[in-house]
A and B are shown apart, each in its own frame.
Chain A
Amino acid sequence: MTVDTSESRSTTSRRGGGYLDRPSSSSLADVVELILDKGLVIDAYVRVSLVGIEILTIDARIVIASVDTYLRFAEATNRLDLYKQGGKDLGDMMGSATESTAKGKTEGVLTGAKNAIMGSDDDDEAEGHESRPQRRPAKKPTQRRKQQEDA
């Protein structure tokens, strides 16, 4: 993995004082989310593969309705501090909207997949994001997940 030199494009800024976040540029997580599995498919014509590129064509979507996922939801629910949630005032809420540093395992599902793709040096950007496969199922679970399930 090379070091990304495009970090300057990854900064986010807010326009005006509104509630709507209008990032002026895209972070890596945004870009992956936006372009993964998107765009004109011309695979039929491709005669050359770039070394290393196949990892990006692997469908990183993870089937959500699985035992593993349920366990993650359960853990997130059990970890929940209800008192803290109930005691939050508006100011805290707004603060947490911009910080969002505490990431549970539930959020980590696709983050993990992204890390497998991109390297793990973008944790700050890679907000959890899971999508159901819409047109085709995930080709296969990653080896790592298999081992977890066997364990």
Chain B
Amino acid sequence: MTDTADADSGSVLTVEAGQACFVYGIVPAATRLPEDLAGLAGHPPQLLRHGDVAALVDVVDVDRGWGTRGDLLTYSHVVDAVAAGGQPVLPARFGSVLASTDEVTAELLEPNHEEFTALLDGLRGRSQYTLRVRYQPDVALAEVVAERADIAALREETRDQPEEVTYHARIRLGELVSDALAQKRSRDAEPIIDVVTAPAVDFRVRELAGKDDVVEVALLMDQAAVPALEKAAEAIAEQGHDRMRMQLRGPSAPYDFVPEV
């Protein structure tokens, strides 16, 4: 790596043959990066500025073998670190790469300058928190078997039989269980969603369908409202702890609140 970029002058970034410009996200031009932030190139990422906005980038080797766990964690660590510092960031989808710094400016920053500026303004002082609620292992399944005579009967009919003999009965059982879990999930999720989204600026409910899933909701939070969210989430976690477990992650970059440009 021979680029000699410094954080105050993106134009010094050099992209050589076999290299490309990895875009972490879009930030305000005045963004101050956390010190000792390690990017994908092994040193702090660079700001490529254009007007009021900047692309957070690194010059990377194209063929070094991508998509490892470390790459993903590094990418998210970089954008989350900016967000955790209270500065707005529009994360770019992991793996967004342009051929040169000129292209980043000419094709990404310049044509979208006004939209990026407006979006970043809307994110100022805000970050994403994500609440994940799951049933205690197998609790929902056990409830479904206990509540539904038809499911219990099919279960008895199929459980000790050879799979070939009960193929269709097992498909029917699975279908009934899948539907019953979906109903249970939605009954349990609704009051939780009501409570935790109240202090949020915006939210997105992610649909889940695993046997222990209840709900996952991404919340765009004003910094000042985070304690209210934590308190509300703690209260429902305590209330439902015999059946469910809840995890609140954040602050992170607002991955779920980036519109398609």
**A interface with B by C-beta (< 8 Å):** 1-2, 4-6, 9-10, 18-23, 26, 28, 30-35, 37-43, 45-53, 55-57, 64-65, 67, 69-78, 80, 82, 85-86, 90, 93-94, 96-97, 100, 102, 104, 106-107, 109-110, 117-119, 122, 128-132, 134
Residues of chain B within 8 A of A35, CB atoms compared = 72, 75-76, 91, 93-94, 255
Residue pair B69, A119 in contact (C-beta under 8 Å): yes
Residues of chain A within 8 A of B151, CB atoms compared = 77
Residue B33 lies at the interface, judged by CB distance under 8 Å to chain A: no
Complex interface bits, B165-177 against A, C-beta within 8 A gives 1, otherwise 0: 0000011111101
A38-B256, A48-B99, A107-B211 as given contacts; A73 in contact with B178, CB under 8 Å? yes
Residue pair B73, A9 in contact (C-beta under 8 Å): yes
Residue pair B98, A48 in contact (C-beta under 8 Å): yes
A26 to B181, CA, bound (A): 28
Residue pair A51, B65 in contact (C-beta under 8 Å): yes
Residues of chain A within 8 A of B25, CB atoms compared = 39-40
Q: Nearest B residue to A90 by beta-carbon distance?
A: B242
Residue pair B98, A46 in contact (C-beta under 8 Å): yes
Complex interface bits, B124-140 against A, C-beta within 8 A gives 1, otherwise 0: 00000010000011110
B52 → chain A closest CB, angstroms: 17
Residues of chain A within 8 A of B76, CB atoms compared = 26, 31, 34-35
A4 to B63, CA, bound (A): 18
Give the contacting residue for A45; candidates B94, B107, B146, B210; CB below 8 A: B107
Residue pair B20, A34 in contact (C-beta under 8 Å): no
Residues of chain B within 8 A of A20, CB atoms compared = 230, 233-234, 237-238, 246-248
Residue pair B69, A122 in contact (C-beta under 8 Å): yes
Residue pair A80, B141 in contact (C-beta under 8 Å): yes
Q: Nearest A residue to B255 by beta-carbon distance?
A: A38
Most B CB contacts (10 A, CB to CB) among A10, A22, A78 go to A78
Most B CB contacts (10 A, CB to CB) among A50, A69, A131 go to A50
Complex interface bits, B58-77 against A, C-beta within 8 A gives 1, otherwise 0: 00101111111110111111
Residue B8 lies at the interface, judged by CB distance under 8 Å to chain A: no
Residues of chain B within 8 A of A82, CB atoms compared = 142, 145-146
Residue pair A39, B92 in contact (C-beta under 8 Å): yes
Most B CB contacts (10 A, CB to CB) among A21, A45, A131, A134 go to A45
B121 → chain A closest CB, angstroms: 16
Extra contacts, 11 of them, besides A107-B212, A118-B69 (Cβ < 8 A), are A6-B77, A40-B91, A45-B108, A51-B63, A52-B67, A56-B67, A77-B174, A82-B142, A86-B142, A131-B206, A132-B207
Q: Nearest A residue to B134 by beta-carbon distance?
A: A127
Residue B34 lies at the interface, judged by CB distance under 8 Å to chain A: no
**What are 19 of the A-B contact pairs (CB < 8 Å)?**
A1-B68, A6-B70, A37-B93, A39-B25, A40-B92, A43-B93, A49-B62, A49-B97, A51-B64, A53-B95, A70-B175, A77-B141, A78-B155, A80-B141, A96-B136, A107-B211, A122-B69, A129-B210, A132-B209
Give the contacting residue for A30; candidates B60, B139, B249; CB below 8 A: B249
A135 → chain B closest CB, angstroms: 10
Q: Nearest A residue to B40 by beta-carbon distance?
A: A50
Residues of chain A within 8 A of B98, CB atoms compared = 42, 45-48
Interface residues of B in 71-85 (CB under 8 A from A): 72-77, 80
Q: Nearest A residue to B60 by beta-carbon distance?
A: A50
Residue B258 lies at the interface, judged by CB distance under 8 Å to chain A: yes
Give the contacting residue for B213; candidates A53, A69, A86, A129; CB below 8 A: A129
Residue B187 lies at the interface, judged by CB distance under 8 Å to chain A: no
Residue pair A21, B245 in contact (C-beta under 8 Å): yes
Residue pair A97, B174 in contact (C-beta under 8 Å): no
Residue B224 lies at the interface, judged by CB distance under 8 Å to chain A: no
Residue pair B233, A77 in contact (C-beta under 8 Å): no
